[in-house]
Structure 1
Amino acid sequence: MGSTVDRTADKVMSMREAVAAFVHDGDTVSLEGFTHLIPTAAGHEIIRQGRRGLTVVRMTADIVVDQMVAAGCVTRLVSSFVGNSSAGSLGELRRRIERADPEPLAFEEYSHYGMVCRYLAGAQRLPFHPLRSYGGSDLPSVNPGIRKVTSPYPGPDGQPPEQIYVVPPVNPDVTIVHAQRADRRGNTQIWGLTGVQAEAVYAADRAVVVVEELVGDEVVRSDPNRTLIPAHAVDAVVVCPRGAHPSFAQGYYDRDNAFYRSWSAISRDPVRLREWLAEWVYGTADHAEYVAKLGEEYWAGLAVGEALSAPVNYGRRL
C-alpha cells in the first residue's frame, strides 16, 4: 500500500471528504461488490465532484457504472459483465461501446474468474496470474492482455512444458467497497454474499470503505472472523446508511428490484437519463438527501426482518 495514512488512527470522514481526498482525475478506480453491497453512493459522489478521465474496474459493470459513464466521469472500463443485473440493458454503456455515441468508451473484457485472478495478482504484487478457463474461449482474440506463457516445469510423464493462459495484475489507484459495518480504524465486517472486496482493497494504493453502521471495537472483537478487510489496509471509513441502493445490504435492506426494472427504460433514452442524473444525483447534496427524497414509505417496502445467526463460542482462557 502506497499511502502514508496512519493506519492506527480514527479514519472516519464524510463521503465528500473521502472522494475529494482519494479519487483524482485520471485515476484507476475499483468499485467492488458482487450483486450485494454495491458502492452506489460513492459513485454518485464521484459524479457530483465532476471527476474525469477515470478507468473504472468492476467485475459486474451495472447501473452505477452506467450512471458514471453518462456523467462523463469514465473513459475506460475494465469488466467481466455488462448489464442491468438480469433486468435489462445499460443504455449509456451500449451507446458508447457499440456506436461511440456521443463518444467512445474503451472497454477491456475478461471473464469473472479472469478478473478475480487479476485482483489476486495485484494484491500479491505478482507479474501475472495463470488460469485454464480461457482454453477454447474467444476472449484472447479480442483482448491482447490475455496471453500465454510456457510453464517452467515439465509436463506429466515427461511431456513438454504446458502452455497456459495468464492475465496481468490490476493495481487500482483507489478501491471503494461497501460493507455492513466497521470500527473507526477501518476493521471492516461483511456477511452474506461476498465478492473480491478484500483482494480489490489489497491490490490498490488507497482504499475507502463505506459502511451502513459504525461500531465499537468490542463488536468487531466479538466476531473477528467476519472482518474481511483489516484496518491496516484501509485509508478512510465513510458511514453512509442505505448507500448500496438499489442493491442490498444483507440484514439492513432488500434489493430494489423495481428500480432495476425501471432503469432499462431510463437509460435507453439519453435525455431521460440526464434528467434522472440532474434530479437524483446533481440535485441532491449528498446520499442522505437522496435517501430522504425517496421517503420512508419507499424504504419500508425494502425493509427486512431478522434472520439471526447462531452464537459462536470463541472461548477464552479462564
Structure 2
Amino acid sequence: MKQTTLEQAAKLVRNDQIVTIGGTLSQRIPAAMVRELARQGVKGLHLVKASPGYDADVLAAGGCLASVRAGMVTLEQPFGMAPNFRKAAERGELDVIENACPAVMASLQAAAYGLPFQAVAGFAGSDVPSIAPFATVKDPFTGNDTLVVPAIRPDWAILHVHEADVRGNARIYGTPVWDRLMSRAAKRVILTAEKIVDTSHFVAQPEMTVVPEIFVEAVVHAPSGAWPTAVFDCYDIDEPAMRHYLELSRTPDGFRKYLEETASQDRRALGVAA
C-alpha cells in the first residue's frame, strides 16, 4: 500500500532535486502538494515543465526554486502573468532557462525512452536555440545538421489525478496534458487524487489507466487537491480564491498567511481510505 498523508509525501522531495509537475497553467495542478512543499521550506528545486502557472508562482513566492525550464509561465486569463515568478526572475533569485514547450517535452521524452537526447524541429528563424541548451548533431542518414535537446530525468513527477488506488494506479479524465509522459520520464511519481477507488476498478478497464503503479512511490487522497485551479468534470477555477492568493502573496508576510489559511484544507487529506 502506497497511500500516505500530504505531509509525508511532501517530505519525499528533497532540496536541490529536479521536479516536473502535472497539469498546465491553471488546470489540474497538484496545488495542495505545491503549497505543502512551500510550507515545508524545500529549497533549490529545478522545475521542468512546458507551461507552469500557479505551481511555479507559489514555489517562487516560497523561495523554493533554483531554476525553471519552461516554454511559458502564466496564470491564464483573467489573472495575467505569474507575478511572484516574475519578481523572483527579475531579482535573480532563480535561473530561467527559456525554452519552447515542445522542446521541454522532448527532453522528458528522451528520458522516458532512455535516450541521451532527442531531435527537435520547427525552430528555423527562432532565437531559442541560441539561448536554450540545444546542440547540433549530424544526421547519419542525410549528413544535415539536426537540433537536439538533452534528456532530463526528474527526480519526481508530482501529478493530480481523478482516481487512484492504494497501489498507485491512476486515471485522468479529459486530457492528461503531459502527465502520462512525465510519469515515464521521472524516476518516481507522487500522486494526489480526488478519489481513492478499489483496484478492481482498474482491472475492469485497464486501458483507462494513465499512470500504472510501477512508477508510483506515494498516493495521497486529496479531495479538491487542485484547488483553486480546475479539474475537468469536477470543479472550475475558483476566481475569488485565485485573486485572494494574488493579493496576499504580494508580500512575504501575506504569503505566509496564505499558506496558514490553506493548511487545514490541504491537510484534510487523511492518507487512509475511509
TM-score by shorter chain over 0.5: yes
Identity %: 28
* Deviation sequence 1:142-181 (CA, Å, 0-9, x none): 12x1122110102xxxxxx221211111111111000000
CA distance in 1, matches of 2:264, 2:67: 26
Residue from 10, 20, 29 that aligns with 1:19: 10
Give, in angstroms, the shift of residue 288 of structure 1.
3.7
CA distance in 2, matches of 1:166, 1:262: 42
User: Any conservation in 1 of the 2:3–2:221 contact (CA below 8 Å)?
Assistant: yes
| Aligned position for 2:175 | 193
Give the direction of change, closer, same or farther, for the CA distance of 1:290–1:134 in structure 2 (3 Å limit): farther
Would you say how many aligned residue pairs link Structure 1 and Structure 2? 267
Instruction: Confirm whether residue 131 of structure 1 aligns to residue 124 of structure 2.
Output: no
User: Any conservation in 1 of the 2:24–2:53 contact (CA below 8 Å)?
Assistant: no
| Aligned position for 1:70 | 61
| Aligned position for 1:179 | 161
| Aligned position for 1:150 | 138
Q: Which amino acid aligns with 1:31?
A: I
| Aligned position for 1:97 | 89
User: Any conservation in 2 of the 1:84–1:264 contact (CA below 8 Å)?
Assistant: no
Q: Max radius of gyration: which structure? A: 1
| Aligned position for 1:31 | 21
CA distance in 2, matches of 1:262, 1:132: 41
Instruction: Confirm whether residue 279 of structure 1 aligns to residue 257 of structure 2.
Output: yes
| Aligned position for 1:46 | 37
For structure 1, the residue ranges without an aligned partner over 5 or more in a row are: 1-9, 155-160, 292-318
3-state DSSP of counterpart to 2:75: coil
For structure 2, the residue ranges without an aligned partner over 5 or more in a row are: 270-274
Give the direction of change, closer, same or farther, for the CA distance of 1:263–1:255 in structure 2 (3 Å limit): same
CA distance in 2, matches of 1:79, 1:266: 25
CA distance in 2, matches of 1:289, 1:16: 7
CA distance in 1, matches of 2:161, 2:135: 34
* Deviation sequence 1:280-311 (CA, Å, 0-9, x none): 213444444689xxxxxxxxxxxxxxxxxxxx
Give, in angstroms, the shift of residue 39 of structure 1.
0.9
CA distance in 2, matches of 1:75, 1:110: 16
* Deviation sequence 1:248-282 (CA, Å, 0-9, x none): 12222122244445655555x3x2xx344222213
Instruction: Confirm whether residue 122 of structure 1 aligns to residue 122 of structure 2.
Output: no
CA distance in 2, matches of 1:64, 1:266: 16
User: Any conservation in 1 of the 2:245–2:258 contact (CA below 8 Å)?
Assistant: no
Calculate the aligned-residue CA RMSD, in Å.
Answer: 2.0
TM-score between both structures, scaled by the size of structure 2: 0.90
TM-score between both structures, scaled by the size of structure 1: 0.78
